[in-house]
A and B are shown apart, each in its own frame.
Chain A
Amino acid sequence: MSAVKRGYVRGLDLKEGRVDMSHGSGGRAMAQLIDELFAQAFANDYLGQGDDGAVLPGAPGRLVMSTDCHVVSPLFFPGGDIGCLSVHGTINDVAMMGATPLYLTAGFILEEGFPLADLKRIIDSMARASREAGVPVVAGDTKVVEQGHGDGVFITTTGLGLLPEGVNLSGSRARAGDRILVSGSIGDHGMAIMAQRESLGFSSIIVSDTQALHGLVAALLSSGAEVHALRDPTRGGLATTLNEIAQQSGVGMMLEEAAIPVNTEVAAACELLGLDPLYVANEGKLVAIIAANDAERALSVLAAHPQGARAAIVGTVHEDAHHFVQMITSFGGRRIVDWLTGEQLPRIC
């Protein structure tokens, strides 16, 4: 953004003001919104260049790039909001490739009528998340759609990261014998959101786990353990992520239900709604596929990190032409942990 002060008559009304069509028209109102809200919150040298694109220093080696669209209802939930979520989500996607995240870009679709105060809360939260993670937002864009054509705010973020020499992680690298690890309890984010939806009418103490995991990934990789794949089990939860990896690698998996960490509150809320925590979204957990001999070492590295205190080895990769993910239930039986069909819907009886 330009350092030259433009001739605004009045500052943005961040208390009572609302997004209107002029904020997306390309005129002065838009420039003001960007300057007073976005540029101030995200302030960094790259964004400050104020050109059509950010000029970034070249980095030797391989780059990892990932993009993620964020639509969440409600926009604010216990433990976070769409702002920090959109930073964590993309940082995690880059981190799961083993890369060090360097830069983010952000695109906003704002709905006409959206309170500027809420927008400020979201942007501030996003800026805080970006600062804490040490990954600046270097470019962005804003559009405004008419009322009824959006759901308050949609945010798309893109992340760019640098992949260290020798790191080769892929969902296609799971091999028979590998162990499956998770970095902590599953289902917290999804149930925190679900519990907030007004129609459920119950209050809970479940807090979203949204957090950036690149520090945890760096610790794991620097331990020297032979890591074959990392993934963050977001939408569709642990079950979906493992099915993706099983499919991609052409292997089967066997999980141990009793070993999978689930918070009691999450388990209880799932029970009440007839949902399965294996399919509930996470925003601050990772799944690691690790060579058998290194699994214990990887576990102790994860467990020693504050973000991995409840890490656990939850299963094993094996050969299976059908690529089934199966599970030994705590009850002592065996079942498939299948792909999710559509959305997870509460049962009737």
Chain B
Amino acid sequence: MKYVEEFRDGELARGLAAAVARAVEPGRSYSFMEFCGGHTHAISRYGVTDLLPAKVRMIHGPGCPVCVLPIGRVDMAIELALAHGVTLCTYGDTLRIPASQGLSLLRAKSRGADVRIVYSCADALALAQQHPNRQVVFFAIGFETTTPPTAVVIRQAQVLGLENFSVLCCHVLTPAAIGHILESPEVREYGTVPLDGFIGPAHVSTVIGSRPYEFFAEEYRKPVVIAGFEPLDVMQAILMLVNQVNEGRAEVENEFSRAVTREGNLKAQNLVAEVFELRREFEWRGLNVVPYSALRIRADYARFDAERRFPLSYRQVADNRACECGAILRGVKRPWECKLFGTGCTPENPMGSCMVSSEGACAAHYTYGRFKELAVAEA
């Protein structure tokens, strides 16, 4: 398969692995956070860590849109579908997120809620056009990658004058989350999370560009290497990060230059700015309330805002007390250090959100890598 297999070549991977092994300095260890779930998934699925020296540790970050969605937001979606009887359209991953009262969108569906999986928000808009007598709500989640398409459909709905289409906007912002992690006491003061650098997002960066990360490199002295989602991209980025650390540099470098520019996609940025504005604060699962970290629909497009169209209110819901998703999303703990991992919480019966999406740190580790610590335990 052209343009895909080139980035998964085993021989090149071995070459890069050897280069990383040569680059790591004796007596030094390296901890890098891959922010994105896409990277987490690639690392687990292709077994990237098997090729890395033991001294290079990858920490899974919070960049999984499903994982960071707080229970209260899923509750709102369920309420829309069950109590207000709307047709709720959503991306597939969100269906299994555990919500309050043992519900999830999937369970709400089996109780009669009209929940549809769509592959694009444009499908939700089309559904609204086909069924003018039904209220169709698009449950919009995701980082900057999925935001511009949502902006497009809201504008289209405006042009079409649709009265039965609205969006439950839960779009969140990457730089705010990175900043929050860097400001967290674990990273700043206690040093419980040794963080030597970041692998920067792939698809998100195609939209926002590489410039927003420059602040982190300068202000916090953390190197950032933006990388594509293919396993060779990740290997190459790790090598670049190791080199930066060795040379005492903290710069933004772009491994994903085939898709990412410094300025990003200006057209998409303008579109987003036209339709959305910053929320003063937004709750993230695991990171708690993060100021200016999410978007809401501007007043000009208020009639397409499900939060204004329907009587909905947000209620904060605490996670299960034993669930370590929060600590895992901040890089403080690793999936297998959670008591529930693989026992009370499995992909079949997820208790925490990290076990839901295949991009979540727990699900990725459970699905692809759990033989590792079992082998250690038995040895």
A residues whose Cβ falls under 8 Å from a Cβ of B: 199-200, 258, 264, 267-268, 271, 273, 322, 324, 326, 329-336, 338, 341-342, 345-349
Q: Are B41 and A347 in contact (CB under 8 A)?
A: yes
* Bound-complex Cα distance A231 to B93 (A): 30
The 6 nearest A-B residue pairs measured at CB: A333-B47, A345-B92, A341-B347, A333-B50, A331-B46, A335-B368
B14 to chain A, nearest CB (A): 6
B267 to chain A, nearest CB (A): 20
Question: Which of B65, B93, B145, B370 sits near A336, CB closer than 8 Å?
Answer: B370
B348 at the interface (CB under 8 A from A): yes
Q: Which residues of A contact B93 (CB under 8 A)?
A: 345-348
Q: Are B65 and A349 in contact (CB under 8 A)?
A: yes
Q: Which residues of B contact A330 (CB under 8 A)?
A: 8, 10
Closest-by-CB residue of B relative to A202 is B119
Q: Are B117 and A348 in contact (CB under 8 A)?
A: no
* Bound-complex Cα distance A245 to B14 (A): 33
What 6 new A-B contacts, CB under 8 Å, besides A332-B13, A349-B36? Answer: A267-B1, A331-B46, A332-B51, A333-B231, A341-B96, A345-B95
- Render B162-194 as a binary contact track against A, CB cut-off 8 A, 1 for contact: 000000000000000000000000000000000
Q: Which residues of A contact B118 (CB under 8 A)?
A: 199
State whether A347 and B359 are in contact (beta carbons under 8 Å apart), knowing that A199-B118, A330-B8, A335-B368 are contacts in the complex: yes
* Bound-complex Cα distance A82 to B348 (A): 30
B143 at the interface (CB under 8 A from A): yes
* Bound-complex Cα distance A333 to B50 (A): 5
Q: Which residues of A contact B117 (CB under 8 A)?
A: 345
B37 at the interface (CB under 8 A from A): yes
B residues whose Cβ falls under 8 Å from a Cβ of A: 1, 4, 8-10, 13-14, 17, 36-38, 41, 44-51, 65-66, 91-93, 95-96, 106, 117-119, 123, 141-143, 145-146, 203, 229, 231, 347-348, 357-359, 363, 366-371, 374
Q: Are B47 and A329 in contact (CB under 8 A)?
A: yes
Question: Which of B8, B359, B369 sits near A335, CB closer than 8 Å?
Answer: B369
B66 to chain A, nearest CB (A): 7
B237 to chain A, nearest CB (A): 15
Q: Are A349 and B47 in contact (CB under 8 A)?
A: no
- The secondary-structure label for the interface of chain B is helix
Q: Which residues of B contact A329 (CB under 8 A)?
A: 10, 45-47
Q: Are B65 and A333 in contact (CB under 8 A)?
A: no
- The secondary-structure label for the interface of chain A is loop
Closest-by-CB residue of B relative to A327 is B47
**28 A-B contact pairs sorted by A residue (CB < 8 Å):** A199-B119, A200-B119, A258-B10, A267-B4, A331-B51, A332-B13, A332-B14, A332-B47, A332-B51, A333-B49, A333-B231, A335-B44, A335-B46, A336-B367, A336-B369, A336-B371, A338-B347, A342-B96, A342-B106, A345-B92, A345-B95, A347-B38, A348-B65, A348-B357, A349-B37, A349-B65, A349-B143, A349-B229
* Bound-complex Cα distance A282 to B283 (A): 43
Q: Are B374 and A322 in contact (CB under 8 A)?
A: yes
Q: Are B371 and A349 in contact (CB under 8 A)?
A: no
Which of A200, A322, A336 has the most chain B CB within a 10 Å cutoff?
A336
* Bound-complex Cα distance A258 to B11 (A): 12
Q: Are A347 and B145 in contact (CB under 8 A)?
A: no
* Bound-complex Cα distance A10 to B142 (A): 60
A20 to chain B, nearest CB (A): 27
Q: Are A335 and B45 in contact (CB under 8 A)?
A: yes
Which of A199, A264, A322, A324 has the most chain B CB within a 10 Å cutoff?
A199
Q: Which residues of B contact A200 (CB under 8 A)?
A: 119
Q: Which residues of A contact B92 (CB under 8 A)?
A: 345-348
Q: Are B141 and A348 in contact (CB under 8 A)?
A: yes
* Bound-complex Cα distance A332 to B47 (A): 7
Q: Which residues of A contact B96 (CB under 8 A)?
A: 341-342
Q: Are A332 and B123 in contact (CB under 8 A)?
A: no
* Bound-complex Cα distance A215 to B374 (A): 43
* Bound-complex Cα distance A199 to B119 (A): 7
Q: Are B37 and A199 in contact (CB under 8 A)?
A: no
Q: Which residues of A contact B49 (CB under 8 A)?
A: 333
Question: Which of A268, A273, A332, A349 sits near B38, CB closer than 8 Å?
Answer: A349
Closest-by-CB residue of B relative to A200 is B119
Which of A271, A322, A348 has the most chain B CB within a 10 Å cutoff?
A348
Q: Which residues of B contact A333 (CB under 8 A)?
A: 46-51, 231
Which of A333, A338, A346, A349 has the most chain B CB within a 10 Å cutoff?
A349
Question: Which of A199, A322, A331, A348 sits near B142, CB closer than 8 Å?
Answer: A348
Q: Are B371 and A324 in contact (CB under 8 A)?
A: yes
Closest-by-CB residue of B relative to A345 is B92
State whether A336 and B368 are in contact (beta carbons under 8 Å apart), knowing that A199-B119, A348-B146 are contacts in the complex: yes
Closest-by-CB residue of B relative to A271 is B4
Q: Which residues of A contact B371 (CB under 8 A)?
A: 322, 324, 326, 334, 336
B338 to chain A, nearest CB (A): 18
Q: Are A338 and B119 in contact (CB under 8 A)?
A: no
Closest-by-CB residue of B relative to A322 is B374
Q: Which residues of A contact B38 (CB under 8 A)?
A: 347, 349
* Bound-complex Cα distance A342 to B356 (A): 11
* Bound-complex Cα distance A199 to B37 (A): 25
B375 to chain A, nearest CB (A): 9
Q: Which residues of A contact B347 (CB under 8 A)?
A: 338, 341
